[in-house]
Structure 1
Amino acid sequence: MINFNKPYLTGKETQYIEDAVASGKISGNGKYTQLCQQFFEQKYGFGKCLLTTSCTDALEMAAILINIEPGDEVIIPSYTFVSTSNAFVLRGAKIIFADSSEENPNIDTTKLEALITPRTKAIVPVHYAGMACDMDTIMELANRYNLFVIEDAAQAVDSFYTGKNGIKKALGTIGHLAAFSFHETKNIISGEGGMLAINDMQFANRAEIIWEKGTNRSAFFRGEVNKYSWVDIGSSFLPSEVIAAFLWAQIKQLNKIQERRKAIWEQYYERLNNTNSNFKLPQIPNYATNNAHMFYLVFESLEKRNEYVFRLKKNGIQAVFHYLSLHRSEYYLKYNKALELRWSDYYSERLLRLPLYFELTNTDVIKICNEIINE
């Protein structure tokens, strides 16, 4: 069986974990936490980074930071993972679902302004497959209507956006805040794990307090205060040093991992391009880069996609579909009227993800492509 995903181990994970354990500090915010956070700040230009136990936690921190309250509205794409919504629902927000674009699963920015009301507090674009949303349009709307932008960059490590001004920026550096994932299916991993990136520095000090269970504990350990106490709401968002040490091993091999993943992505594209009218290949907008987080096909119908899922499985290949539109979910419909979001439903019914991981061989890719091409 060619599995959909296989976590890649660099070989240094246990070495760094042993070092963390031997240090006598494994509860979090130690040597490896600092190394990881500094890496992302220095390489990509985030204002401040805080590791979290998941991308979900990073999103929940963002919702607290922008003071989401009952009645506030938050605009997110319906075609996303439930965490994007839950983080704000937990604070009492009303979710306003936006449709995907016709060109790709990202949020349709041409229809965003019509969703903004006096109660709108934030827009949460999701960079699907690590492919940038149209951030110029989103930030222009946010500035005009005084809204916060929180980038859901769960899939977008090492991916970039080039704005109309020609400046290339890492995804997650453009909005006020951003959330990343290091789940085992991502490009670099720590099993579970995530990160909050803070670009609007008005949030920096409070983010650290929320991260440390609502205390100024970090400031105390830096010697900035002579005692620490409960000063704000918060939770246990920071991961242990064991998780951070695992992530550091992955970070050290980021370039190698990315090089291989991109080679696999390109091999898929070259072999499947112009071969079959049953599906479309992913198209990268000219303002976006490809971080090779995933390779997907979009079929002409739900029936055709299911046919390929079963055919691939029969031949020892695990391919999976992705999100079910959140506006169709049982939870949403319990409290809200049904919506019609054509393109979100389109991708829910037609998109199929192919295996893509570091140790996938060229022979594996050829086999997968041949099973798809040979009807």
Structure 2
Amino acid sequence: MSSSIRFNATHLIGKEMDYVAQACLERLSGDGRFTRQCHDWLERKTGTARALLTHSCTAALEMAALLLDIAPGDEIIMPSYTFVSTANAFVLRGGIPVFVDVREDTINLDERLIEAAITSRTRAIAPVHYAGVACEMDTIMAIADRHGLAVVEDAAQGVGASYRGRALGSIGTLGAYSFHETKNIIAGEGGALLVNSPDMVLRAEVIREKGTDRAQFFRGEVDKYTWREIGSSYLPSELIAAFLWAQFEEEEAINRARLAVWDNYHQAFAGLEASGRLRRPIVPDECRHNGHMYYVLLPEAAQRQVVIGALAAAGIQAAFHYVPLHSSPAGEKFGRSHGDMTVTDDIWQRIVRLPLSPGLRSADQVRIVEILASCT
């Protein structure tokens, strides 16, 4: 049976095609008018020293690894429960991911385990803000300051979310956003690097422009541009930036709509949680999330396929999430674990992610809740 309720439905707000058409007439390659508007918006919204659009969040993380001069043998502490890009960006430079367990409440990197994982080779901490809910950044930044470490926030899911009033991605040394079609604010593909350390801004521009000082040349700061250091082509096309600009204009409305869907789920599942049939997401008071994802944790791993299968039979797409990196073939080859992964190994087998998009109807949510309730 084909799915009548998609896990993720692409949401257009009306101006995307108009702006893409304008970009086709003005400029197709990157760093045109729409890119500049997106940069300005991100800088105003987050307070970062410099925002730079990239062709993916993966690219933004790779830029972060280059900016930090990650070298073979350098260690980067991160959760195992994350997308492969968090680790790949550093492994490409010869870095070693050091996997640490996650918290049971937020499924974020457990800040209480970080300090014991630090060695003389540790260069950075890479917290991942799962589901748009912030990691405990005050503690993480304090640990980083004590040990002279950089902090790279993987805020792929965190556009529009904050921690103690500060935008996710703007707190650490560097931050990375995603605008993939599965995220809140979308452009099909696309990402952004937030350069929160002013002394890294010019070098970030060079790395993004294939290792050249082309950006400075176009600002009239140098009389010619040339190859300065290692870099790559991390710019998105102006078509992506144009589409993204339409989404940025409506970012608050998009996130409000997602939060309304999230809140409906949360209220509907309260009774099932009270009876011990599932656990709902937990959002600490200091975190303002963005309604990126709604998941439930089932009591037993064996229930997950039953639930997903029952939803699929009704034409409803549901999903789980990451196979932990520490137990993956590449994770075992390129990284190492520090301590037990008890929470990670347990939670990834019990999580079910439910459809969530701004246009999801309340009636469809009722169907989803009823089917899930019948399986638990």
Q: TM-score when scaled to structure 2? A: 0.96
Paired residue for 2:267, among 251, 266, 270? 270
The letter of the residue matching 2:14 is G
The letter of the residue matching 2:196 is N
**Conservation of the 8 A alpha-carbon contact between 1:68 and 1:93:** yes
* Equivalence for 1:349: 349
The letter of the residue matching 1:341 is M
Matches within 5 A, 1:22-171: 22-23=25-26, 25-162=27-164, 168-171=165-168
Paired residue for 1:21, among 6, 21, 24? 24
Instruction: State the 4+ residue runs in structure 1 displaced beyond 4 angstroms.
Output: 335-339
**Conservation of the 8 A alpha-carbon contact between 2:96 and 2:334:** no
**Conservation of the 8 A alpha-carbon contact between 1:13 and 1:246:** yes
Alignment partner of 2:76: what SS? strand
Q: Structure 2 CA distance, aligned partners of 1:7 and 1:335? A: 35
Paired residue for 1:10, among 1, 9, 13? 13
Give the deviation of 1:161 after TM superposition.
0.5
* Equivalence for 1:310: 309
Is 1:329–2:328 an aligned residue pair?
yes
Alignment partner of 1:302: what SS? coil
* Equivalence for 1:181: 178
**Conservation of the 8 A alpha-carbon contact between 2:321 and 2:353:** yes
Is 1:370–2:367 an aligned residue pair?
no
The letter of the residue matching 1:309 is I
* Equivalence for 1:279: 278
Q: What's the CA shift string for 1:101-133, capped at 9, x where partnerless? A: 121210011111000011100000000000000
The letter of the residue matching 1:20 is A
Give the deviation of 1:278 after TM superposition.
2.5
Q: What's the CA shift string for 1:37-60, capped at 9, x where partnerless? A: 100101221111000000000000
**Conservation of the 8 A alpha-carbon contact between 1:100 and 1:108:** yes
> How many residue pairs were aligned?
369
Q: Structure 2 CA distance, aligned partners of 1:43 and 1:102? A: 31
Q: What's the CA shift string for 1:109-161, capped at 9, x where partnerless? A: 11110000111000000000000000011000000000000000000001010
The letter of the residue matching 1:5 is N
Give the deviation of 1:336 after TM superposition.
6.1
* Equivalence for 1:259: 256
Q: What's the CA shift string for 1:12-68, capped at 9, x where partnerless? A: 111101111111x22101100000010010122111100000000000000000000
Q: Structure 1 CA distance, aligned partners of 2:336 and 2:40? A: 45
Give the deviation of 1:335 after TM superposition.
5.4
The letter of the residue matching 2:347 is Y
Q: Which runs of 5+ in 2 are unaligned?
A: none
**Conservation of the 8 A alpha-carbon contact between 1:278 and 1:304:** no
**Conservation of the 8 A alpha-carbon contact between 1:106 and 1:126:** yes
Paired residue for 1:212, among 209, 212, 236? 209
Give the deviation of 1:337 after TM superposition.
6.8
Q: Structure 2 CA distance, aligned partners of 1:79 and 1:138? A: 17
The letter of the residue matching 2:62 is E
Q: Structure 1 CA distance, aligned partners of 2:281 and 2:260? A: 15
Residues 1:335 and 1:72: Cα distance change in structure 2 (over 3 Å): closer
Q: TM-score when scaled to structure 1? A: 0.96
Alignment partner of 2:307: what SS? helix
Q: Which runs of 5+ in 1 are unaligned?
A: 163-167
